[in-house]
Amino acid sequence: MLILLGVAFLIVWRAGDHPPNVSIALAVAFINSNGAMWMLLEELRVSAAIRVPVNVLSFILGAGFYIRASQLFPRTLTPEDIMSSRTIWGKIKPLCVALVFFLRARAVWVFVIVVSLLPFGGAIRLVIVLMGLVYFYVMYRSGDVETRSKVLWFLEAALAVFVIGLVGEGVNAALHGTGSPTLRVMHLVLFNAANCLAQVICIFAAVFYAGAISPALVIRKTFIYGMTAALLLFTYATVEAFLVNFLVDVTGISDRFAGALLGTLFGLAFHPIKNRMEHALQRLGPLARREARYQLSTINH
């Protein structure tokens, strides 16, 4: 989450007057700042009277910029794009009219502000994700080869978040009132980790593989490698701590033995991951440099 937040703000800072890059970066930044800000304020023991309005505000900004990014990146969607779309969204008249109506920035922000005040948090998030997913899909289907290449991984990210959120809400409903506290914590950890991992993979693929945003606007690949390794280590430490406590509670073995066992297993699993990541960066390095030179020359002219 913090890695995505940092990369997004770097793109905003260095993208200058290139609106498509700024729109997608603002969306990623505010989406991830929502959870990060809530955790930070909780750690600082800030009162709920301050935490809740800040959380609502960051949610509104994240949702609004996300929908607007799906309409503006990598080019601006027009009513003609939607009405001539060969998808179900262009063939069913009420859906087509609704999508055209929400192409207006004012309509998007009013909609987001209104729904953010409703009590159905999980359902509202799914509706917003689905709305952006539809616009990304229309953008993909109506665009040329270059547009499709740029928008594909953001479409995949929105689809992954929607599917993970849908499954998560279903599991949460099944566990409500019947699941044990351990299962609820495991559900929260696993689905949050899956959500963050899907976003990291898709957005980094968009930047460093597909060239949707110039890698020169982000940061050196060596720093990305270090941050990715840090993310993997943090995930490893979090999951290991949870599984150690779970094994101790279930089996009654000592925490030292459980920690040593899981540490060995995770160590064996992370070594091939590290090697694959190094090979991937070595392959993507020349591609990223060529794409950076091309996109920077395009922006400068």
Where are the domains positioned within the chain? Answer: 2-163
pLDDT of residue 173 exceeding 50: yes
As a whole-number percent, the residues of the chain with pLDDT over 90 amount to 24
The model carries a pTM of: 0.69
Top mean-pLDDT range of 46-50, 103-107, 192-196, 230-234: 103-107
DSSP annotation string for the chain: -HHHHHHHHHHHHHSTT-HHHHHHHHHHHHHHHHHHHHHHHHHTT--HHHHHHHHHHHHHHHHHHHHHHHHHSSS---HHHHHT-SSHHHHSHHHHHHHHHTTSHHHHHHHHHHHHTSS-HHHHHHHHHHHHHHHHHHHHHHS-HHHHHHHHHHHHHHHHHHHHHHHHHHHHHHHTTTS-HHHHHHHHHHHHHHHHHHHHHHHHHHHHTS-SS-GGGT--HHHHHHHHHHHHHHHHHHHHHHHHHHHHHHH---HHHHHHHHHHHHHHHHHHHHHHHHHHHHHHHHHHHHHHHHHHHHHH-
Give the tens place of pLDDT for each residue, 194-234.
Answer: 888 888 788 778 876 766 665 444 444 444 555 555 555 65
